[in-house]
C-alpha cells in the first residue's frame, strides 16, 4: 500500500504497511491488554521492526474514536486476534468489539482456526497462532488472512486492506460502517484453500510463496531491486481481486476519513 505522508521522504511505504504493527493499545471490550508487544514475533518490515515512530513524527492529527466490530459468521469456531488488542474465542454468530484508545495507530486483525487453549490462555492454533497464547501480543503465523489498518494518517485519512501477503486461512470482509467519504470496503470470500497450488498447501490454509521459498522475488526483502507480481500473487488476485496479493501491491489500499468505524466479518455471506 502507498500514500503520501506530510514528511517529504515518506512518500512510499507499501512494503512497510503491508505488514504494519505498532505497540500502541487497542482496548478490547471487557479485557485488559498488556501493552508490551513481543517484537520478536513481528514480521520483517513491520513498523516495530523497522525503526517505527515515523507516523507520529509527521504531526498527524487525531480523529474520533473508531470501533472495530468483529463477527464470526463461519459455521465453526474462530479465535479472533488483534495486534494491538489480544484475542477472543468466537463461536458462530459471536461478536467482539474493539475500541481504539490512541488514534495514531496501525495494526491488524485476523482469525485463528483449530485452537486449543487451557484455562491460563496458553495453547496452540493450526493457523494464525501467535506464540501459543489466546491474547496475542505479536503477529499470527502464516498462513493467515489479515485485515490491516493505519488510522488518522495524512489529511486525517484511514488506510486499510485485506492482505494475503501472509497467505490465506479464512474468508474475510473488512468494511466501513458508513460509505461516507470511503473509497470502498474489501473482501476475500473465495475458497482459496480448496484451490491452493500443491506447493503452497498447509494444514488449514494456503501459504504465501515467501514462507515457502524465502526468496526476494516473493518476499521483497530488498525493495531496491525489482519485486513485482508473480504467478502465485496472480493466483491469489484472481480469486480475491480486492486483496493485497504481494508486498508492493499498492492499488489494493483503501481509504476512509479518520474516525470511521469498521466491521470485520469472518466467512461473510
- pLDDT digit string, tens, across residues 95-126: 999 987 665 478 999 999 999 999 999 999 99
DSSP 62: P
Specify the range with the lowest mean pLDDT, choosing from 15-29, 71-85, 152-166, 248-262: 15-29
CATH number of the domain at 14-266, please? 2.60.110.10
Distance in angstroms (rounded) separating the CA atoms of residues 68 and 28: 10
Model pTM?
Answer: 0.77
Q: Which residues pair with 173 in a beta bridge?
A: 187, 265
Q: What average pLDDT does this structure show over 184-206?
A: 95
pLDDT confidence of 56, banded at 50, 70, 90?
A: very low
User: pLDDT at position 260, please?
Assistant: 92
SS3 234: helix
Distance in angstroms (rounded) separating the CA atoms of residues 218 and 216: 5
User: When comparing pLDDT for 230 and 12, which is higher?
Assistant: 230
Specify the range with the lowest mean pLDDT, choosing from 55-59, 146-150, 248-252: 55-59
Q: Does pLDDT of 47 surpass 70?
A: no
Burial 39-52, CB ≥16 within 10 A → b, else e:
eebbbebbbbbbeb
What are the backbone angles phi and psi of residue 190, rounded to the nearest 5°? -70, 155
Q: What average pLDDT does this structure show over 227-236?
A: 93
Instruction: Give the mean pLDDT of the chain.
Output: 79
Q: Who's near 73: CB < 8 A, 6+ residues apart?
A: 92, 93, 265, 266, 267, 268, 269
- Left (φ > 0), alpha (ψ -120 to 50) or beta: where does 211 sit? alpha
Amino acid at each position: 500500500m502507498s500514500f503520501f505522508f506530510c514528511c517529504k521522504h515518506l512518500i512510499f511505504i507499501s512494503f512497510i504497511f503491508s505488514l504494519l504493527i505498532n505497540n500502541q493499545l487497542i482496548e478490547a471490550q471487557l479485557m485488559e491488554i498488556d501493552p508490551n508487544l513481543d517484537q520478536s514475533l513481528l514480521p520483517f518490515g513491520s513498523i516495530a521492526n523497522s525503526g517505527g515512530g515515523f507516523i507520529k513524527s509527521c504531526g498527524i492529527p487525531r480523529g474520533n474514536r473508531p470501533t472495530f466490530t468483529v463477527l464470526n459468521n463461519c459455521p465453526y469456531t474462530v479465535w479472533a486476534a488483534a495486534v494491538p488488542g489480544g484475542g477472543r474465542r468466537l463461536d458462530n454468530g459471536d461478536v467482539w468489539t474493539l475500541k481504539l484508545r490512541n488514534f495514531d495507530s496501525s495494526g491488524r486483525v485476523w482469525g485463528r482456526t483449530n485452537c486449543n487453549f487451557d484455562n491460563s490462555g496458553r495453547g496452540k492454533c493450526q493457523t494464525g497462532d501467535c506464540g501459543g497464547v489466546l491474547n496475542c501480543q505479536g503477529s499470527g503465523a502464516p498462513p493467515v488472512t489479515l485485515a490491516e489498518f493505519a488510522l488518522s494518517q495524512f489529511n486525517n485519512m484511514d488506510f486499510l486492506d485485506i492482505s494475503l501477503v501472509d497467505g490465506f486461512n479464512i474468508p474475510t470482509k473488512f468494511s466501513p460502517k458508513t460509505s461516507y467519504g470511503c473509497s470502498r470496503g474489501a473482501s476475500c470470500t473465495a475458497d482459496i484453500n480448496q484451490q491452493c497450488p500443491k506447493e503452497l498447501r498447509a494444514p488449514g490454509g494456503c501459504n504465501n510463496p515467501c514462507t515457502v521459498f524465502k526468496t526476494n522475488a516473493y518476499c521483497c526483502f530488498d525493495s531496491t531491486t525489482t519485486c513485482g507480481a508473480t504467478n502465485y500473487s496472480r493466483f491469489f488476485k484472481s480469486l480475491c481481486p480486492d486483496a493485497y496479493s504481494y508486498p508492493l501491491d499498492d492499488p489494493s489500499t483503501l481509504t476512509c476519513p479518520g474516525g470511521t468505524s469498521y466491521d470485520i466479518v469472518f466467512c461473510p455471506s
